Structure 1
């Protein structure tokens, strides 16, 4: 039997962002396939089997949204767990017929929808050369593809975050070697992954109040979904705040060491006790 704790009370400090009021991302079929890590062919096949709702038609263009992303992620996850499309079709039919599995849909969107509102953008090789100059070498582009910053699309490239790509181009124009910048991304990514997992665990932990193999009682789902939507933007605020703090500390440490080195060079020796004080300050900071 599932445990039935009391409903989650709304937080007075958190902005109320119910799922129905949250701005949605919109995608063409190509964009949907890309952000959902599948293919256009699979999207069409899932629609034909009734696993995926058809897009909204705007003229001759089909427009998909985050509910389609969440459904595709669920399908992908179940496929990797060994379920067949027939199994998944039975599940979806049960959901659509109003069984208790309907509870998973709101949670599916709240937890599984994209956190970014950026739309992927395609760039020709000429456009990348204009952005990065001669720094956009074949080896640099290959490394960007390996890191997932760019995706090959025939003779073009697709960026999932045009803002990040533009920031990288600006840094490269300021003289930062592109290879070093890509190395920094590779070094930082595992740390970002760890931070993201910790924050997602905080959100998903709301489900730990229930048995692992049982959905929350239907009466609890609306409050649970609203709580998750409220937590999501606050998690981003926390990440930005902590990143700003870390950058301030790192730049302050560098500036202090650089100024101290200049002073030592001008004086011909380190001021009495200066090295020991710097070492002690760094040791204290590492303990925090």
Structure 2
């Protein structure tokens, strides 16, 4: 009997799902599956009679959609990304560019605080109105009975300033007043950083070959923008402090000169008035 050639290896079995099973496996709903199909985000199932059969490629696509939605993308954004992938872009490179532009600029890790911890930090200054204001400004975020700060260092600095006697309400008002100016500065600097994208069409992604280099350039520019902000802030603080000190010294000098112009009799009269006031205060029942 002649030797038969070895049979070709069988294809790996694929998992198959009904629409209900697909929704359950991917932690979504049947309604979402239908909606994604209607928008072209998800390929239609294989039809077997009246039953639609999905497979692992649908699972992968749905998990990607869920991941992108969790990162803040809209369905329109996701549609553009998937179209870009179909046109030859590497999705990891696109997400890398998105992270370089929109990722957190601070390396601080958010920290959760209980109400007791905040009271220990701020003492009696942590009033309900102050906590509400801090939440409105985004300095704290409510998480059930706890609070989360995205910048624990700034929170600790505020607590120290409050303990030094600065009213917490005034400190929060100062943050609210300064924020629009910081937002304007931040927008100007972000515009400089992402200016690298201006050479491309506004409604199109850069060519696939350019995306990794662009992301790398933006990562290098980001810390330089932060250095510029810190440098300018220090300069402004020095000028403001100098102006305040100069105004304060000038006011003291003006007062001293005014007293000298009044002559010694006026000075003695004020001294006598102070002595009488002090004596009355000591003998007050």
Shorter-chain TM-score bucket reads 0.5 to 0.7
State the SS of the aligned residue for 2:63. Answer: coil
- The normalised TM-score by structure 2 is 0.65
Aligned to 1:148: 138
- The normalised TM-score by structure 1 is 0.64
Q: Within 5 Å, which residues of 2 pair with 1:96-107?
A: 99-100=88-89, 102=91, 103-107=93-97
Aligned to 1:255: 245
State the SS of the aligned residue for 1:50. Answer: helix
Of structures 1 and 2, the one with the larger relative CO (CA 8 A, separation 6+) is 1
Alpha-carbon RMSD: 2.9
> 1:72, 1:174 → 2: CA distance?
44
Aligned to 1:108: 98
Aligned counterpart for 2:219 among listed residues 225, 229, 251: 229
CA positional deviation for 1:96 = 6.2
> 1:183, 1:270 → 2: CA distance?
40
CA positional deviation for 1:94 = 5.5
Given the alignment of the two structures, is residue 127 of structure 1 paired with residue 123 of structure 2, yes or no? no
User: Aligned residues, how many?
Assistant: 205
Aligned counterpart for 1:169 among listed residues 159, 169, 179: 159
Moved over 3 A (4+): 43-48, 90-98
CA positional deviation for 1:221 = 2.2
CA positional deviation for 1:92 = 5.4
Larger Rg: 2
Per-residue CA deviation, residues 64-108 of structure 1 (Å, 9 max, x unaligned), is xxxx7xx457x52425xxx3xxx83x5555566782263522311
Aligned counterpart for 1:78 among listed residues 70, 74, 79: 74
CA positional deviation for 1:113 = 1.1
Aligned to 1:217: 207
Partners of 1:111 and 1:204 within 8 A in 2:
yes
Report the CA distance shift for 1:183/1:111 in structure 2 as closer, same or farther (over 3 A): same
> 2:73, 2:83 → 1: CA distance?
18
Structure 1 unaligned regions, length at least 5? 1-42, 54-67, 272-288
Report the CA distance shift for 1:201/1:100 in structure 2 as closer, same or farther (over 3 A): same
Partners of 2:96 and 2:215 within 8 A in 1:
yes
